[in-house]
Structure 1
Amino acid sequence: MKQNVLIIGAGGVAQVVAHKCAQNNDVLGDIHIASRTLSKCEAILESVREKGAMKQEGVLEAHQVDAMDSAAVAALINKTGAQIVINVGSAFVNMTVMDACIETGAAYIDTAIHEDPTKICETPPWYANYEWKKRDLCAEKGVTAILGAGFDPGVVNAFARFAIDEYMDEVKSIDIVDINAGSHGKYFATNFDPEINFREFTGVVYYWEDQQWKEKKMFETGHDWELPVVGTSRAYQSGHDEVHSLATNYPQADVRFWMGFGDHYINVFTVLQNLGLLSEQPVKTAEGQEVVPLKVVKAVLPDPSSLAPNYTGKTCIGDLVKGTKDGQDVEVFVYNVADHKDAYNEVGSQGISYTAGVPPVAAAMLVATGEWDAKTMKNVEELDPKPFFTILDNIGLPTRVQVGGLGGEDKAWNE
């Protein structure tokens, strides 16, 4: 059994992770959190104490570390005795944190794919560019590494595996739909790190269809989805992490990702992009200073964690999976609905951070008990989804199914 958790990062998702780890410290043991800015870590731990989140008396400590320094992360893992590392820092630190885990033997869990800050939308499948290159080494050293264990990627990967295992002999398509029907009240803001948010949408939209990679432009293809609770919402085909592992593990299926956007977001995004303000490449000002436009935009936008107090409404994220069973066409929609205000009242974060932060804690609990302690590298769809759903049900993100597709018989996943 593995215990003692080190959380890397101190943003809105890290706050959720810290609260949920504290609520389950009887399973997870000591809780440590580290980032470049110690004061941010300390503020998160203070919010944990204010909410009385600790299930039982235990260690709750903050640390300073540069997560780009693999040796420093390894030293901190050894110092804290952490056997599980939950990386919810920037997507730029994945590989240095993973290397530290491989060196020390700690289990590694992240919520998004690694990115090179100088590149956008590299050659698919994205995981093959960085993470999967370490898969053999993880297996050789017996190190558990669970990739993309947030919501999307993460829970939606488990949704796909569950739908296929339970309802199909053969899968034909997986459409992941992410709708945020909430309102933060700001003129313009992103729900997570603006730099990562914009990088997702300025490059090529890669998707898997007819057993090959295909390309679109962002906002080229939209579709109105009639979803549970949130109703009709317009979503656009987008590039996203989970497409790249699902397409590899289910190559016979078409795999697409759809994200909801309002006209206002698209208009502001388009202006920023047309002005060159979303570029990741440095430019020089008239005064000779070198700046990265995307980082300047990030600096002037609201911090995503600041949106939480006034956020209202709900999210609906799910997979519409189609296939065949006994020669007949079948489809199911596996999904979750989360509430922004409920998330804020419980852990002080908005619903997007909540849906991203709860699943890696569930994954950590499964590593702690041994059920997901794979001792090699896995994407979430390669692991048994049922114990994952059971914990998610218990800690805030229940899974439901509409049998027959959208609008079909609605029930809990285990009914």
Structure 2
Amino acid sequence: MKKNVLIIGAGGVAQVVAHKAAMNNDVLGDIHIASRNVDKCHAIVKSVLEKRSLKTPGVLQAHELNALDVEATKALITRTRAGIVINVGSAFLNMSVLAACMETGAAYIDTAIHEDPKKICEAPPWYGNYEWKHRAECERRGVTAILGAGFDPGVVNAYAALAQDQYFDTIDSIDIIDVNAGSHGRYFATNFDPEINFREFTGQVWTWQDRRWTANTMFEVKRTDDLPVVGQQTTYLTGHDEIHSLSANLDVPNIRFWMGFGEHYINVFTVLKNLGLLSEQPVRTAEGVEVVPLKVVKAVLPDPASLAPGYTGKTCIGNLVKGQKDGEDREVFIYNICDHAENYAEVEAQAISYTAGVPPVAAAMLIARGEWDAKRMVNVEELPPRPFLDLIGAMGLPTRIRDAQGDRDLSFTDEEVPSLARRVAGGR
């Protein structure tokens, strides 16, 4: 049984991870938080203590760490006796943290695909460019590495696995829809790291259509859906992490990702891009100073964590799945609704951070219990979805389903899920 958690990162998602890990420290053991900015780590520790989130008395410590330094990360894992590492730092850190875990034997969990700082929107498949190259090594060492265990990717992958196992005989399409219908009250801000946010949308949009990778430009294709709670929402086709694993692991011809954007965001984004201010390539100013435009924009925008206190409204994220069951056409929407103000009241974070931060803690708990201790590298859809969805529901992210029978809480019975038993951590 693996215990003791090292959280790498100190942003809004790490805030949620720390609180939720503390609420379950009877299962997870000691909790350590590490980042280059140790003051942010101390602030998270203070928040956890002030909210009295620790379920039982235990270790809760902050550490300074440059997670790009593999040897330093290995040393911290060893010193803290961390059996599980939750990487919610920048996506630029993934391969360094993964290397440290493989060499120490600690289980590895992340919430996004690795990115090369010098490259934007690489050609698919993204996991195949980095993480998947280490699958054989993870299996040889018996190291559990769960990739993309946030919400999207993460929970939506489990939704897809559940739909395939329980609700469909064959699936024609999975459309993942992500809408933030909330308001932070600022002129312009991003809900997570601006650098990562903008990098997702400045290149080509890659989606899986007719069993092949298809390229579009950002904001070229849009749709409007009447969604539960948040109502009529317009979303735009964009590339996203989970498409790259779902297209490889599920036999589905069409897998697309749609994200909601307001006109104001699109206008500001377009101006910044056209001016070259979203470029990741360095430029030299008239004074001879070399700067990266994208990093300058990040520096002047609000810290996403600072948006939480005034955030209002809700998010809706889910999978619209179409296919056939028992010879009949079928359509289901499996989704979650989250409330910004409620999340802040609980853990002092907004809903974007909350939806990304709860799932990796659930994954850590399942590893600690042995249910998801796969001892190899996997994406979430390769693991049993039922215990994961049950657990995140109990932790604050309940799943609902809308289909021909109506809109209701997702509930499981032994009769409903006979095929789920075949999904085990060691294989499909």
Given the two structures, how large is their TM-score scaled by the length of structure 2? 0.95
Counterpart Cα distance in 2 of 1:144 and 1:108:
6
TM superposition shift of 1:251: 4.1
Render the CA deviation track for 1:345-394: whole Å, top value 9, x for unaligned: 00001110000000000000000000000000000001111000111111
Q: Does 1:304 align with 2:301?
A: no
Q: Report the residue type matching 2:347 in the other structure.
A: V
Counterpart Cα distance in 1 of 2:181 and 2:12:
19
Counterpart Cα distance in 2 of 1:239 and 1:80:
37
What is aligned with 2:269?
Answer: 269
What is aligned with 2:28?
Answer: 28
TM superposition shift of 1:117: 0.3
Render the CA deviation track for 1:37-68: whole Å, top value 9, x for unaligned: 11110010000000000000000011111000
Q: Report the residue type matching 1:183 in the other structure.
A: S
Worse overlay, 395-404 or 82-91:
395-404
Render the CA deviation track for 1:4-58: whole Å, top value 9, x for unaligned: 0000000000000000000000000000000001111001000000000000000
Counterpart Cα distance in 1 of 2:50 and 2:111:
26
What is aligned with 1:98?
Answer: 98
Counterpart Cα distance in 1 of 2:262 and 2:10:
29
Pick from 409, 415, 428: which aligns with 1:412? 409
Alignment of 1:129-144 (within 5 A): 129-144=129-144
Counterpart Cα distance in 2 of 1:124 and 1:250:
16
What is aligned with 2:228?
Answer: 228
Q: Report the residue type matching 2:116 in the other structure.
A: D
Q: Report the residue type matching 1:99 in the other structure.
A: A
Q: Report the residue type matching 2:234 in the other structure.
A: R
What is aligned with 1:342?
Answer: 342
What is aligned with 2:379?
Answer: 379
Counterpart Cα distance in 2 of 1:283 and 1:187:
27
Name structure 2 gaps, 5 residues minimum. Answer: 413-428
TM superposition shift of 1:410: 1.2
Worse overlay, 165-174 or 12-21:
165-174
Q: Report the residue type matching 1:412 in the other structure.
A: D
What is aligned with 2:39?
Answer: 39
What is aligned with 1:62?
Answer: 62
Worse overlay, 38-47 or 251-260:
251-260
Alignment of 1:206-245 (within 5 A): 206-245=206-245
What is aligned with 1:400?
Answer: 400
Counterpart Cα distance in 2 of 1:358 and 1:282:
36
TM superposition shift of 1:160: 0.7
CA contact (8 A) 1:138 1:375 kept: yes
What is aligned with 2:166?
Answer: 166
Aligned-residue RMSD, C-alpha: 0.7
Counterpart Cα distance in 2 of 1:250 and 1:160:
9
Q: Report the residue type matching 1:239 in the other structure.
A: G
CA contact (8 A) 1:22 1:48 kept: yes
What is aligned with 2:107?
Answer: 107
Counterpart Cα distance in 1 of 2:277 and 2:124:
26
TM superposition shift of 1:325: 1.3
Name structure 1 gaps, 5 residues minimum. Answer: none
Counterpart Cα distance in 1 of 2:193 and 2:107:
25
Q: Report the residue type matching 2:102 in the other structure.
A: I
What is aligned with 1:389?
Answer: 389
SS of the residue 2:32 aligns to: strand
Q: Does 1:324 align with 2:324?
A: yes
Q: How many residues matched?
A: 412
SS of the residue 1:183 aligns to: coil
CA contact (8 A) 1:164 1:321 kept: no
Q: Report the residue type matching 1:186 in the other structure.
A: R
Counterpart Cα distance in 2 of 1:293 and 1:225:
35
Counterpart Cα distance in 1 of 2:276 and 2:284:
13
TM superposition shift of 1:253: 2.5
Worse overlay, 103-112 or 252-261:
252-261
Render the CA deviation track for 1:172-204: whole Å, top value 9, x for unaligned: 110000000000000000000000000000011
Counterpart Cα distance in 1 of 2:163 and 2:334:
7
What is aligned with 1:247?
Answer: 247
Counterpart Cα distance in 2 of 1:337 and 1:372:
25
Counterpart Cα distance in 2 of 1:246 and 1:132:
14
TM superposition shift of 1:328: 1.5
Counterpart Cα distance in 2 of 1:357 and 1:309:
17
Counterpart Cα distance in 1 of 2:214 and 2:17:
35
Render the CA deviation track for 1:219-256: whole Å, top value 9, x for unaligned: 00111111100001110001110011111112432000
TM superposition shift of 1:154: 0.3
SS of the residue 1:52 aligns to: coil
SS of the residue 1:16 aligns to: helix
What is aligned with 1:292?
Answer: 292
